[in-house]
Amino acid sequence: MNKKEWNNRIANRSDFTAGLVHLTKSNKDKNKSSLEILMKILKEQNLIGSTINSGYIVVDIPAVCLQDTLLYLLANC
């Protein structure tokens, strides 16, 4: 499927997005706002995975969660 066919296909779909969403939160321990955390991620081009001790992860391997979701659906949360 070429780019034009793909664009035509997704133009009429409300369940496809053009990107991924990564939610950030403030880091109260380091006194950084969510915006500062986002800017750090963009500048360093690095995502630090959560662990058993720092998030909802239940295995010994750090993980980063990305979600393909429509932004207007997040705004309604």
- The closest alpha carbon to 46, from 18, 28, 19, 22, belongs to 22
| Cα-based distances in Å from 50 to 4, 6, 18, 20 | 38, 34, 25, 18
- In this prediction the pTM is 0.57
Q: What is the mean predicted confidence (pLDDT) over 52-68?
A: 83
Instruction: Work out the mean pLDDT of the chain and round it to a whole number.
Output: 81
- Asked if residue 10 has pLDDT above 80, the reply is no
